[in-house]
């Protein structure tokens, strides 16, 4: 707990403590998240990066209580979300929103955009239709869409990038404090990604948001995050400030991820990839350090003892018995 407590000196808006999320799949248990602790300060963007199956999306959903954790706590602005139910939880939801990976699937294909973006207002109990309409107009304009052209149409008439703008508008309409972005640009074209990332940064500044940005693309995560957490098979490998983490990664997995990124520069010869094989299944994660089966530095200690997050540099923590730095 010491590392988690030391992660943020400022008053954290979100504090996840030892969260464990498991679910059943065909008779077996999937250990999606196995004891993750992190903190996000007000106004900060924390990037959460990892490959498929590492549990980052599950973590995002668990924070919002869309998937109940087996154990652990989620403190939002001091209040424990894991013990909240019913109306109290519903009230809290207005302050925490979620943006998904597939923007078109995130919109009900049978409802008009104006209704979709206004839905949070209805659920929040704003009865005045005129006021709702005005709020919807304001937020659609803020994300760069013309409400007169957009509000009456159906989702399938829009491109992926536009749908994502609509989803962002829906997330912003209640003026939340915290937004979890779950792979918001992965399904979009390269030229549109940049637009949406810029939009998110703009909205963050304008609305004073705190963001948890979940993605598998390191370069994108680095571009928008103040701090980055790297996740592997349900556990955190490394946490640290963006610039520092990428310049001097301490955990071998972080280094592996950085090396694997295809660089759009023909002078950079792609390093002959080390045949590290496939990631193990979260149903039967390896004992001790979960990365040991693909780690060139693994030894007996890694098999016997699960590493905890330890300080390896100022504000940088890695869970490794043999860190790189």
- What is the footprint of other proteins within residues 114-143 (CB under 8 A)? 119-120, 123-124
* Among 139, 151, 220, 318, interactor with other proteins by CB under 8 A: 220
> Which CB sits closer to other proteins, 12 or 279?
279
Angle (deg, nearest 10), helices 113-123 and 129-142: 120
* Among 37, 162, 254, 316, interactor with other proteins by CB under 8 A: 162
Give the footprint of other proteins on residues 79-98 (CB under 8 A): 89-91, 93-94, 97-98
> Which CB sits closer to other proteins, 94 or 310?
94
> Which CB sits closer to other proteins, 156 or 297?
156
Q: Say whether residue 225 binds other proteins (CB under 8 A).
A: yes
CA distance 307 to 237: 9
Cα angle value 98/62/192 (rounded, 5°): 30
Q: Say whether residue 8 binds other proteins (CB under 8 A).
A: no
> Which CB sits closer to other proteins, 80 or 305?
80
Which residues touch 324 (CB under 8 Å, ≥6 apart)? 248, 249, 250, 251, 252, 255
Query: Which backbone phi and psi does 85 adopt, to 5 degrees?
Result: -135, 170
| Nearest residue to 257 via CA among 52, 57, 4, 102 | 52
Give the footprint of other proteins on residues 192-211 (CB under 8 A): 192-195, 197-198, 201
Query: Which backbone phi and psi does 195 adopt, to 5 degrees?
Result: -60, -50
In the numeric block, the tokens 């998904």 are attached to 100
User: What is the helix (H) or strand (E) element at residue 49, kind and residue range?
Assistant: strand 45-49
Q: Say whether residue 308 binds other proteins (CB under 8 A).
A: no
Q: Say whether residue 151 binds other proteins (CB under 8 A).
A: no
Could you give the count of Cα atoms lying within 13 Å of 67 in the half-sphere of its Cβ? Answer: 17
Give the footprint of other proteins on residues 18-57 (CB under 8 A): 51-52
CA distance 243 to 237: 17
**How is residue 285 annotated by DSSP?**
P
Binding-residue total with other proteins (CB under 8 A): 88
> Which CB sits closer to other proteins, 15 or 225?
225
Q: Say whether residue 109 binds other proteins (CB under 8 A).
A: yes
Binding piece for other proteins, criterion CB under 8 A, among 21-29, 33-41, 256-264, 295-303: 256-264
> Which CB sits closer to other proteins, 206 or 301?
206
């Amino acid at each position: 707990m010491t590392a988690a407590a030391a992660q943020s000196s400022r008053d954290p808006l979100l504090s996840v403590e030892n969260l464990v999320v498991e679910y059943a799949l065909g008779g077996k248990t999937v250990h999606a998240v196995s004891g993750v602790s992190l903190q996000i300060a007000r106004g900060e963007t924390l990037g959460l990066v990892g490959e498929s199956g590492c549990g980052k999306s599950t973590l995002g959903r668990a924070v919002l209580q869309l998937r109940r954790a087996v154990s652990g706590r989620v403190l939002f602005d001091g209040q424990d979300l894991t013990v909240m139910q019913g109306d109290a939880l519903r009230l809290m939801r207005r302050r925490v929103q979620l943006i998904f990976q597939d923007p078109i699937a995130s919109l009900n294909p049978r409802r008009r955009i104006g209704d979709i973006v206004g839905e949070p207002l209805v659920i929040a109990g704003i009865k005045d239709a005129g006021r709702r309409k005005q709020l919807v107009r304001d937020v659609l304009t803020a994300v760069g869409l013309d409400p007169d052209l957009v509000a009456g149409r159906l989702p399938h008439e829009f491109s992926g990038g536009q749908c994502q703008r609509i989803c962002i508008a829906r997330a912003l309409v209640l003026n939340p404090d915290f937004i979890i972005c779950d792979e918001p640009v992965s399904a979009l074209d390269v030229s549109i990604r940049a637009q949406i990332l810029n939009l998110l940064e703009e909205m963050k500044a304008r609305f004073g948001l705190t963001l948890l940005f979940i993605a598998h693309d390191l370069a994108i995560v680095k571009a928008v995050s103040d701090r980055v957490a790297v996740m592997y098979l349900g556990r955190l490998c490394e946490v640290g400030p963006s610039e520092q983490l990428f310049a001097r990664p301490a955990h071998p997995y972080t280094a592996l991820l950085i090396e694997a990124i295809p660089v759009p520069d023909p002078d950079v010869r792609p390093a002959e990839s080390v045949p590290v094989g496939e990631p193990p299944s979260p149903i039967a994660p390896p004992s001790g350090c979960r990365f040991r089966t693909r780690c060139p530095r693994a030894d007996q200690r890694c098999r016997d003892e699960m590493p905890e997050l330890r300080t390896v540099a100022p504000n940088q923590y890695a869970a490794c018995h043999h860190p790189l730095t």
